[in-house]
Amino acid sequence: MRCRVRFLPSERTIVIQAGERTLLEATRDVGLPIASACGEKRACARCGVEIVEGAGALEAETDREKWIKERNRIDPNLRLACHVHPSGDLTVRASYW
Ligand code: FES
């Protein structure tokens, strides 16, 4: 199954195989920048993005993701792009896109 990931406010879109790539990888594939201070080792929380639509297309938040956001004082409503693999259509936003 394929899914469409839409990035706001740039309106760029990418179609990926469901569950195959992280949201961070999909973001880079579409040519948008995304912060990472941990080398994508799931530790820095810099890759937090807002999920505008399709939150159900992502895995449930793990205790580790919650803990990393708390430790790094990141908005708890953001999802960490290196932690999640879109499995359905999704719209995400970062102010710098
Ligand atoms: S890139 Fe560091 S937690 Fe996602």
Report the CATH number that the domain containing residue 34 is assigned in CATH: 3.10.20.30
Separation of 13 CA from ligand 1 center, angstroms? 22
The reply to whether ligand 1 has any atom less than 6 angstroms from the CB of 40 is yes
d(CA 96, CA 33): 8
Confirm whether pTM is higher than 0.85: yes
The reply to whether ligand 1 has any atom less than 6 angstroms from the CB of 78 is no
Q: Which domain holds residue 29?
A: 2-93
Residues 54-77 pLDDT 10s: 999 999 999 999 999 999 999 999
State the total domains in the chain. Answer: 1
The residues with which 53 forms a beta bridge, in sequence order, are: 91
Pairing of strands 48-53, 79-80: antiparallel
Residues 11-25 pLDDT 10s: 999 999 999 999 999
